[in-house]
Amino acid sequence: MNNQPITQLNLSGGLDYFSEGFRLIRQPGLRLFVIAPLIINTLLFYWMVTASYELFGGWMITLMEWLPSWLSFLEWLFWPLYAVAIIMVLAYCFVAVANLIGSPFYGLLAEKVELQLTGQSIESDDDLKTLIAIIPRSIARELHKLIYYIPRALLLLILGVIPGVNLVAGVLWFGFSSWMMTLQYADYAADNNNKSFAQLKRFAADRRWPSFSFGMLVYVVAMIPLVNLVAVPAAVCGATAFWVNEKQGNKS
């Protein structure tokens, strides 16, 4: 396995980190922690596509009913806006549920990535007992992120169904979701290093460009069918590279 020091990778922006994530998931020592969540993601994706296909028409009718009659001549404009909003929500829901189910695997994946990039292991065991033991902590951490996410997402969704205001809400939703993607995937490395979610938020906020650009790319790829199945483990690897590289570049 190639344990190239992270300082030689010259990573600086979201594209660099996300590309590094796709490189890392192909490494022999990491494949085991990618295959299991990949199977989970495939089954989950099939179920969500089937369910959303059946419900999409009803959702669109409900949203269009919010449109005042005096704006009915703009229905051609609001229909694609609402359709894109639904797709964006479904994309994040897929990622959120996939992360909740696969979080124990992703925590171990982030640990192995950090070992490969730095050569310094984090105290842990690799056996099945260890995986089972971290499940409650991993799920609790995911629920913590959902508690942070849900109230803000609901506010944006409310703004998103208000005619006129939804034009701005769409931009805000994209920006917030991109921010959440970075927090979501960098949190595995932060948790492995005993850093709180609050500390992670400060860490990401101090590095706004790589944080936002990485999350934006992950969010866009998460909306691409089939590609999003491998995007999640790649995002875990890329976010871990982001965590390690930015930590070494500016200790905090």
Q: Is there a domain that residue 154 lies in? A: yes
pLDDT reading at 104 higher than 90: no
Q: Is there a domain that residue 221 lies in? A: yes
Cα separation, 43 vs 23, whole angstroms: 24
Angle, helices 208-222 vs 14-24, to 10°: value is 60
The predicted model scores a pTM of: 0.73
Q: Which domain holds residue 35?
A: 10-118+133-249
Which of 19-33, 82-96, 199-213 is predicted with the least confidence, judged by mean pLDDT? 82-96
Q: Is there a domain that residue 148 lies in? A: yes
Q: Is there a domain that residue 175 lies in? A: yes
- 16 touches 88 (CB < 8 A): no
Cα separation, 57 vs 195, whole angstroms: 43
pLDDT reading at 114 higher than 50: yes
Q: Is there a domain that residue 128 lies in? A: no
DSSP 164: T
pLDDT reading at 99 higher than 80: no
Q: Is there a domain that residue 216 lies in? A: yes
Q: Is there a domain that residue 2 lies in? A: no
Maximum alpha-carbon separation in the chain: 64
Q: Is there a domain that residue 97 lies in? A: yes
Cα separation, 44 vs 41, whole angstroms: 5
Q: What is the mean pLDDT of residues 94-112?
A: 79
Domain total of the chain: 1
